[in-house]
Amino acid sequence: MIENFNSKHIYLFITFSLLFLFSACSVRKKHSLFNAPTDIVTDTIKQVYVVNDRGISDAYYKIKVNDKIAIRNVQNPEFGATAGSNFTNQTNNNINNYNGQNVLSYPVDLDGQVNLPAVGKVEIAGLTRREAAIKIQDLYKQKLLKDPIIELNIVNLKVTLLGEFSKQGNFFIERENTTLIDIIGEAGGITKTADPKTLKIIRGDRNHPEIIYVNLSDINSLASKKLVLQNNDIIILQPTKSAALSEKLTSVNNVIQPILVVVNLGILILSLTR
């Protein structure tokens, strides 16, 4: 009877293990974010593959309504900085308040204008950062400052990194032409368990998004202009199948192990009492 019990126990355990292994191929998909029917291309993709292609986006971002800009005068005293009046000094302080974390930002209103200290409303919607900086710089030069050098940043441009990155979360796009590799570097790279063939960028209209699949293991992928990041891009990287399976096995083992201990203890007690 004990032998039969042991045999049944072993048989059930082996059967369960085999069933689990055969179903493991879907483990990664079940635990990945924002799955799409086209995700199967990650098994065969060579470089970059695009679904719902919207064409090449502008490499230089155009300012839009509801954007928030921060500006500062980066002029050096040798370029003509003057003490001037208290009003001039106050304005200099205001436009120098962009210092990384303590940002004084100005929203672009529905008319495409931004209301700036001393110069008032300036229409900048539709301009690149450089074009807007030059326009604002000329206005300050005409009205208040001597030879200002204006630096402009849009403080609400961001991308979101999810999955197998050393750091996840929102990352602000601070420079023109920021690429996928720039952001991955800022995030500290990818994890040891990441599958470099599974990187996916979700871009644009959330109802019918453009999906860009990237094989990071092929250096030729880096030449694609699709990897110049756009505002609100979502970037997802999945683990390897073996890593996903290992995680699943670990979680299942944590459940099975106590059960096996109880079963073995019961067998031992049964054998001792006979």
Residue 145 has pLDDT above 90, yes or no: no
pLDDT score of 100 = 46
Question: Tens of pLDDT along 49-69?
Answer: 999 999 988 778 899 999 999
Bridge partners, residue 153, by sequence = 70
**Lowest mean pLDDT across 90-94, 116-120, 175-179, 245-249:** 90-94
Using pLDDT thresholds of 50, 70 and 90, give the confidence band for residue 12.
low
pLDDT score of 202 = 97
Nearest Cα residue to 146 out of 137, 135, 134, 157: 137
Give Dmax (Cα) for the chain.
103
Helices marked H in the chain: 2-22, 27-31, 86-95, 129-143, 180-186, 241-272
Q: Are strands 113-116 and 210-214 parallel, antiparallel or unpaired?
A: unpaired
**Lowest mean pLDDT across 20-34, 99-113, 140-154:** 20-34
> What's the CA gap between 168 and 187, in Å, rounded?
7
Dihedral (Cα; 57, 60, 62, 66), 10-degree rounding: 90
What tokens were used for 258? 């106590």
pLDDT score of 268 = 73
Concatenate the DSSP letters of all residues of 209-228 into one string. Answer: -EEEEE-TT-GGGGG-GGGB
Residue 176 has pLDDT above 90, yes or no: no
Using pLDDT thresholds of 50, 70 and 90, give the confidence band for residue 9.
low
What tokens were used for 210? 């453009």
DSSP designation for 164? S
Bridge partners, residue 134, by sequence = none
